[in-house]
Structure 1
Amino acid sequence: MKPSIIIRDETAADIAAIHDVTIAAFQSMEFSHHTEQFIIAELRAAGAMAVSLVAERDGQVIGHIAFSLVTVSDGSLGWYGLGPVSVLPEYQRQGIGKALVEEGLARLRALGAQGCCLVGHPEYYVKFGFRNIPQLAYEGVPPEYFFVLPLGDRVPQGTVTFHEAFLADSPQRHDS
């Protein structure tokens, strides 16, 4: 019997482990610019993570997911961006990423979110209900990689802008 996975809120004690998990998860991914750990640090420093969850097994953080508010050009409110999502390579393809996404979406619904969007692999996110919606776009990304999941009764029209942390390409200093 495999040990169970616990999905829980991030704590301050998890920060270093999340950093390490994120680096390891994206290390061999060709599409990555290998800045995901900096994005998470910037989102955290800006207080921009609306939901930040870890997957834990036997007391070890083995996965992480972040959700942050996005801006929609038509003024729609309550939309979030999913990402980054990371699972240690040795635990990938075991349903941990799926569990993180499902719990994160449940948390967004509880917050009254109107929807969620992401840039991701075309074959992975459709199983959660994400789809390409032509009236909502993310500039600079081919439409087949930009996915939207409406959680409310309407889909905005226009372009999505993720938090400026997604432009992070190196660690930043934040003075208290």
Structure 2
Amino acid sequence: MTIKINKERAEHINAITLLTEAAFQHEEHSSHTEQFIVNSLRDSGQLTVSLVAIDGESVVGHVAVSPVAISSGDTEWYGLGPISVSPERQGQGIGSQMMKAALEEIQRLGAAGCVVLGNPAYYGRFGFKAHPGLILPGVPQEYFQAISFGNKVPCGDVKFHEAFDATE
């Protein structure tokens, strides 16, 4: 298996939509709207990073990164997600490769840090951890995690772009 991580191109968009839908289809803690979120982020110009994992000619993974707003006024913070891997390819390290590539890309772009909503055991492997002063309203603290690329994690409420409300 030789996976290549590339920036999204126009010819990948349909495959990303289908892949994202399939990846979250049986997820218990999912709104099952992740494919709509990715498309809405793209349509609104908020998809800062969109990387695909390619195996041969097939898109087998995708990760999206978009800006977030923090009530403290801190800037250059981003939210990672959704991240999707084709169901039959999960557990093969593709998600980890995409995570590392996405974090490297936003650092290259000058990001101060990144937040993610998800399983602490998984995202902790990449340096994410819960910070008591950084809050995503309505979400249990342990599932909302951040990684700072400097020496500071801001305090305040985090708001993802309205594209995260997309339902179609």
The interval holding the TM-score normalised by the smaller chain is over 0.9
Task: Write the mapping of 1:6-85 to structure 2, written as runs, cut at 5 A.
Answer: 6-85=4-83
What is the aligned length? 168
How much has 1:167 moved relative to structure 2? 0.9
Question: Scaled by the length of structure 2, what TM-score is found?
Answer: 0.98
Instruction: Return the alpha-carbon distance in structure 1 between the equivalents of residues 133 and 3 of structure 2.
Output: 38
The residue number in structure 2 matching 1:174 is none
How much has 1:41 moved relative to structure 2? 0.6
Could you tell me which runs of 5 or more consecutive residues in structure 2 were left unpaired when the two chains were aligned.
Answer: none
The residue number in structure 2 matching 1:91 is 89
Q: Tell me which stretches of 4 or more aligned residues in structure 1 moved more than 3 Å.
A: none
Instruction: Return the alpha-carbon distance in structure 1 between the equivalents of residues 151 and 40 of structure 2.
Output: 31
Could you tell me which runs of 5 or more consecutive residues in structure 1 were left unpaired when the two chains were aligned.
Answer: 171-176
Aligned partner (choices 149, 157, 160) of residue 159 of structure 1: 157
Instruction: Return the alpha-carbon distance in structure 2 between the equivalents of residues 123 and 67 of structure 1.
Output: 20
How much has 1:166 moved relative to structure 2? 0.5
Instruction: Return the alpha-carbon distance in structure 2 between the equivalents of residues 169 and 17 of structure 1.
Output: 19
Instruction: Return the alpha-carbon distance in structure 2 between the equivalents of residues 122 and 105 of structure 1.
Output: 17
Q: Which amino acid aligns with 1:158?
A: G
Q: Is the 8 A contact 1:139 1:159 kept in 2?
A: yes
Instruction: Return the alpha-carbon distance in structure 1 between the equivalents of residues 115 and 126 of structure 2.
Output: 12
Question: Scaled by the length of structure 1, what TM-score is found?
Answer: 0.94
Matched, 1:139 2:137: yes
Q: Is the 8 A contact 1:79 1:115 kept in 2?
A: yes
